[in-house]
Amino acid sequence: MKIEILGTGCSKCNKTKEVVEKILKNTGVEAEVVKVEDIETILKYGVMITPAVVIDGEVKSVGKVPNEKDIQKWITE
């Protein structure tokens, strides 16, 4: 599983990465977590507002720090 955190380094982007990593640790799910800060790459996903979470190429959340329950659901589907 590949999880991309899209964002240019704002506090919400950093918080999103922290929460995703926490949930992965708590659930024992293995995934590659990548921080994507390149604007062109972010726009290719159609994302105009960050932070965004992309799991295996599918945009799951845009413009907010997702809650832990949602992240856990996404990674265990």
CB 51, CB 7: distance < 8 Å = yes
Q: Tell me the mean pLDDT in the region 66-70.
A: 96
Q: Angle between the 68-76 and 11-27 helix axes, to the nearest 10 degrees?
A: 50
Residue 12: alpha-carbon gap to chain centroid: 11
What confidence tens digit (pLDDT) does each residue in 35-57 have? 999 999 999 999 999 999 999 99
Count other Cβ atoms within 10 Å, centred on residue 66: 19
Domain boundaries, the chain: 2-64
Catalytic residue among 2, 8, 10, 67: 10
With a cut of 90, say whether residue 9 has pLDDT above it: no
How much is the pLDDT for 6?
Answer: 97
Type of residue at 46: G
Superfamily name and number for 2-64: Glutaredoxin (3.40.30.10)
What confidence tens digit (pLDDT) does each residue in 12-27 have? 999 999 999 999 999 9
How much is the pLDDT for 77?
Answer: 81
For 60, counting Cβ atoms within 10 Å of its Cβ (0-12 exposed, 13-18 middle, 19+ buried), the class is: middle
- Does residue 13 have an active-site annotation? yes
- Does residue 4 have an active-site annotation? no
